[in-house]
Structure 1
Amino acid sequence: MNQNLILIADDDADVRDLLTVALEGAGYQAVGANDGRTAARILTVAKPIAMITDVRMPSMNGMELCRLARNTPALRDMAILMVSGNNHAYDVDAGMVAGADGYVAKPLQPKRIVSELRDLISRRPGA
């Protein structure tokens, strides 16, 4: 795993930019993907330490992307944080069942995202 790389999978360029600035300001490298299929390709090549994924994206949604990561041996230990405009208990539960480690509702607060991600990374095996 790339110990400093975070993948941001979100179809909203403004969200990707906001999170990239926050993560890079916290000492991480960030790479963005505007849809699930692109994110899946990046995951298999770059093997980031963590992924932030929106639930709703074109071509492959965040739930599918999360399940893909959890079923790929080289990515199983990656921290996964889901973000979504849906914050109903059902949506949060579905994210956790898919394999997410955390779930944050939009609108996003960059400092909270960085803090949550650091915590998730520290709790992963081999951290």
Structure 2
Amino acid sequence: MKSFNNDIGAYAFLGLLVATVWAIPLAVFLHRDAHGSPMELPRCLEARTLDQVRAALEAQGNRTVLGLYAATEVRSGANRDYRRCMATVVTDDGEAHIGFTIGWHDRRNGIPFWAGDGLPSSRQSVSKH
């Protein structure tokens, strides 16, 4: 009968083999969202995007955002690591076109960021209602 010390190399090899076989699919799984697709940035028209942009616009000054609509993607990064968007915002001063960017704050954990150009001064608004 073999002693345990002689078989430890075989057990270590088997353990590494099993760990490797499980680690590769696990790494792929962890890099995917709940639907099984690779992590993707929020789109320009998604509700959470519009909520984030609206909150940032209202926080930057004393103007109320009455509406935010017609958000479209104008450009994206080669690796889909950012989206550049344009939208129309309606404030109590009038209507204006704004630009904002969606990017990865922490891609691994699926945490995006939103950054924008901000509201133009009330004299630069596109139209008055």
The answer to whether TM tops 0.5 is no
More strand by share: 2
So what's the TM-score if we normalise by structure 1? Answer: 0.30
Task: State the structure with more CA Rg.
Answer: 2
More helix by share: 1
So what's the TM-score if we normalise by structure 2? Answer: 0.30
